[in-house]
Structure 1
Amino acid sequence: MIAIKLPNLDFLSQRYRALVFSGVIIGVSLLSLAVLGLNRGLDFTGGTLIEVGYKAPMDLAEVRTALSEGGFGNVMVQQFGTTRDVLLRIPPVGEVNDAELSQRVLHALNEAAPDQVELRRVEFVGPQVGKELAEQSGLAVLFSVIGILIYVAMRFEWRFSVGAVVATLHDAIVTLGVFSLLQIDFDLNVLAAVLTVIGYSLNDTIVLFDRVRENFRKVRKGTVLEIMNQSVNETMSRTIITAGTVFLVVVALYLFGGESLRGFSLALIIGVVSGTYSTIYIASAAAVMLGVSRADLLRTPKEAEADGRP
C-alpha cells in the first residue's frame, strides 16, 4: 500500500495579506454597487421580453437602429443562442398592452428587414411583481445569513460562526460586485446562483471547521495556527477535487449553455473560486483573530461520556 504524504503548506501565515486583498476587492465591489448598482433584469424592473428569429445572421447594431427609428430607444438587444436569434428586453411603456407592444416592435424590425423576422416568444412582467421579487430576494439572502449564524454557532462555537458568516458575505458581495462592474443582467437565475454560492461556501467552511474541531481534540501539541494549517492541508485534496469538478462543469455551462444560462454560470464560476479562497483565508483567519482556542472546542463531560473517550 502506497502512503500518500499530506502537504504541509503554511496557509495562514499569509492571512494578513489575504485580508488586505479581500478588503480591496470588497471595497471596489461595494463602491460599484453604490455608484453603478446592479443592472437589474426584467424580473425585478418589470417590462416585456421579446424573442425574435431572423432568416439570416443579423447585426445587433442594425436591430438597435431599427428599434430606435421605430420609437424604442431604451431597449436591451442581445443574441440568444445563434446570430439569427435575438432577445429584446423592453422596459415598461406607458399603458401599452403586451400584444400591441409586440406588434409595434415586429413592425419596426420588418421595416428594416422585410419578411426576415418572426416573433417567437413574448413575456411580460408587471412593475409591481418586479418590486415584490426584489424585496423577497433581499429577505431570502438576509434569512439565509441569519440561519448560517445560528447553525454554525450551535454546531461549533460563536467565533467559527462569525468567520463562516463573514466568508459567506465576502463571496456574495464579490459576486454581486463583478456583476455590477460589468453591468451584466441580474435576474432570478443569477439570484439563484448567488444563493447557491452561499450554500457552497458554507459547506466548504463546515468541512474545514469540522476537521479543525477534530484536530483540536485529538492533537495534544501545537499552537492554534499549527492546528488550523494542519486541518487546511488535510482537507485540501477534498477541496481541490470538489471545487475542480464543480468549476469544470460551470465553465462548460458558461461556454455551451446558451445565453439564458450565461449569468447563472458566471455567478457560479466566481462563487466557486471565491468560496474556496474565503474558506481558508477569511473564515479560518477570522476565527483565529477572534481568539479561538483549544478550550473552546473540548468535549463537555456529557459528550465525552457518550463517546467513551476523554
Structure 2
Amino acid sequence: MRKVISFTRIRYVMIALSVVVIVGGAIATFSIGGFNLGIDFQAGLSQRVAIDPAVRSVTVEEVRSALDEIDGLQVNTIGVLADQEFAVRVRDEGTIDDFGNVMSNRILEILRARYGDDAVDEVESSYVGPRFSADLARQSFVLIFVALFLILAYIAFRFRVVYALSAIAALVHDVAFMLVFIGVTQIEVSTATMAAVLTIIGYSLNDTIVIFDRIRENEHTMRDSAFPVIIDTSITQSLSRTVITSITTLLAVTSIYVFATGAIQDFALNLIVGVIIGTYSSIFIASPFLLHAQQTVRKRRRKAAAKKPAVDQQKSVEGKKQTPETVAAATGASTDAILRELGARKASAPGAKGPARGKKKKKK
C-alpha cells in the first residue's frame, strides 16, 4: 500500500495562505483603479472593418499597430483570415462627446491613410451604451451565483449537505482567486473572461467530486479509522489521477495561449491559472472544509446523545438499524455501555421472563 500523505495536517497553513493572497490581491486591484472592464461591461464603440486583400495584405497585428495611438482599443479577426475582416472595439472613457461617430470616423481615417481609401470599408458600426453594459455585467454575476446554487443542490442530492457546503467553499475560493488575478494583471474583463471563470468552476467541481466520491467510499471501508485519516487516504489514492488530468489539460491550454492572440489568449491564460487553482482547492480547501464540517456535526450529535440514552441513536439517517459499534462511533459512548443499556432495557421490557427457577416437588 502506498504511503498516505498527511494533507490535513497543513490545512490551516494552506487556508491562511489563500486568505493572504486573495486579500492582498484585492487590495492591489483597487489600489490601481479596479478592474479593466471591456466594452462588454462598459460603454464603447464596436466596429467591423474590411480591408480589401486584393489591394493590401495585412495581419491583425498590423491593424493593431496602425491604431495603437487610440487608448482602450481591442482588435480581433472575424471569420477567415483571407477575408481580412476585423472587429475593432474602443472603450468610452467619457471624455469625448458623441463618442460613437467621432471614434468611428477617426478609425477609418487612420486605416485609410495607412492602406488607401479604396482598400478600407466599414461593414458595421454600433455604440454600446452604459445602461446596456451595466445590465450585461449584472447578468454575468447573476449567472455565476445561479451556477453555484445549482451545484450546491446537485452535490447535496448526490452526497450530503456537508459535502455540498465544502464544495461551494472551494468554488468561492476559486472565483475569488480568479477575480484577483484578473484585477492585478489588468486583463480585460469581457464575456470571454466570464466564460473562463465558469469553465474553471466546472473543472474544479469535477476534481472535487472525484475526491469526495473516494472519501464517501472509504467511510464504509475504513469504519474504524478517524475521519482525517480517511480524507488523507482518499486524497492520496486520487492524487495521481488529479495530477495527470491537470497536466494534460495544461498542455492543451498552454498551446492555445502560445499560438493565439487577443481575447483568445487572455481566455487561455485565465484557464491556465484556473486549472492550477482548481486542483489546489480540491485538495487543500474543499477537503479541510469537509473535515471541519464533519467534526462539527459529530460534536452536535455527541451533545444530543448526552441528553438521552445512547440506544435511542441506533437508527441511522436512512432508518436502518446499526450495530452497537457504529452507534458508539456516532454518539461517542462506549460499546460496553450501549450493550449494558440494551440488556437492561430487554430485562425491564413487558413480558420479559426472569431467571428460571427449579420447581419444588410435592411430597406424597
Q: Tell me the TM-score normalized by structure 2.
A: 0.69
SS of residue matched to 1:45:
coil
Q: Equivalent residues in 2 for 1:188-267 (5 A)?
A: 188-267=191-270
Partner in structure 1 of residue 330 of structure 2: none
Larger radius of gyration: 2
Structure 1 residues 192, 58: CA separation in 2 closer, same or farther (over 3 Å shift)? closer
Structure 1 residues 7, 85: CA separation in 2 closer, same or farther (over 3 Å shift)? farther
d(CA) in 1 for partners of 2:162, 2:30: 30
Which sections of structure 1, spanning at least 5 residues, go unmatched?
68-73, 306-310
Q: Is 2:52 the counterpart of 1:49? A: no
2:42 is aligned with what amino acid?
Answer: T
The structural deviation recorded for 1:97 is: 5.0
Q: Is the deviation greater in 146-155 or in 197-206?
A: 146-155
**Preserved CA contact (<8 Å) 2:46 2:128:** no
Partner in structure 2 of residue 106 of structure 1: 108
Q: Is 2:64 the counterpart of 1:64? A: no
The structural deviation recorded for 1:129 is: 2.6
1:64 is aligned with what amino acid?
Answer: D
d(CA) in 2 for partners of 1:299, 1:238: 33
The structural deviation recorded for 1:50 is: 4.3
In the TM superposition, what whole-angstrom CA distance separates every residue of 1:102-160 from its partner, at most 9, and x where no partner exists? 3332213445x463974576553522332221111010011112222232233323322
Q: Is 2:24 the counterpart of 1:28? A: yes
SS of residue matched to 1:90:
strand
Q: Is 2:15 the counterpart of 1:19? A: yes
Partner in structure 2 of residue 171 of structure 1: 174
**RMSD across aligned positions (CA):** 3.3
Partner in structure 2 of residue 308 of structure 1: none
d(CA) in 1 for partners of 2:239, 2:296: 22
Partner in structure 1 of residue 4 of structure 2: 8
2:262 is aligned with what amino acid?
Answer: E
d(CA) in 2 for partners of 1:251, 1:207: 24
Higher relative contact order (CA 8 A, sep 6+): 1
The structural deviation recorded for 1:259 is: 2.0
Identity of aligned residues (%): 29
Q: Is 2:73 the counterpart of 1:76? A: yes
Q: Is 2:127 the counterpart of 1:115? A: no
Q: Is 2:290 the counterpart of 1:287? A: yes
The structural deviation recorded for 1:63 is: 3.8
How many residues of Structure 1 are paired with residues of Structure 2 in the alignment?
A: 290
Q: Equivalent residues in 2 for 1:148-187 (5 A)?
A: 148-187=151-190
2:23 is aligned with what amino acid?
Answer: G
The structural deviation recorded for 1:19 is: 0.9
Q: Is the deviation greater in 252-261 or in 224-233?
A: 252-261
In the TM superposition, what whole-angstrom CA distance separates every residue of 1:68-106 from its partner, at most 9, and x where no partner exists? xxxxxx442568799x998743234544556x7433322
Q: Tell me the TM-score normalized by structure 1.
A: 0.79
Q: Is 2:41 the counterpart of 1:39? A: no
The structural deviation recorded for 1:241 is: 2.2
Which sections of structure 2, spanning at least 5 residues, go unmatched?
302-314, 323-364
The structural deviation recorded for 1:51 is: 6.3
d(CA) in 2 for partners of 1:59, 1:114: 10
d(CA) in 2 for partners of 1:206, 1:299: 24
Structure 1 residues 90, 191: CA separation in 2 closer, same or farther (over 3 Å shift)? same
d(CA) in 2 for partners of 1:247, 1:184: 20
**Preserved CA contact (<8 Å) 1:46 1:124:** no
Partner in structure 1 of residue 350 of structure 2: none
Structure 1 residues 124, 246: CA separation in 2 closer, same or farther (over 3 Å shift)? farther
Structure 1 residues 238, 108: CA separation in 2 closer, same or farther (over 3 Å shift)? same
The structural deviation recorded for 1:37 is: 2.2
Partner in structure 1 of residue 325 of structure 2: none
The structural deviation recorded for 1:225 is: 1.1
d(CA) in 2 for partners of 1:261, 1:25: 26
**Preserved CA contact (<8 Å) 1:201 1:279:** yes
Partner in structure 2 of residue 71 of structure 1: none
Structure 1 residues 58, 171: CA separation in 2 closer, same or farther (over 3 Å shift)? same
SS of residue matched to 2:5:
coil
The structural deviation recorded for 1:10 is: 1.8
Q: Is the deviation greater in 51-60 or in 227-236?
A: 51-60
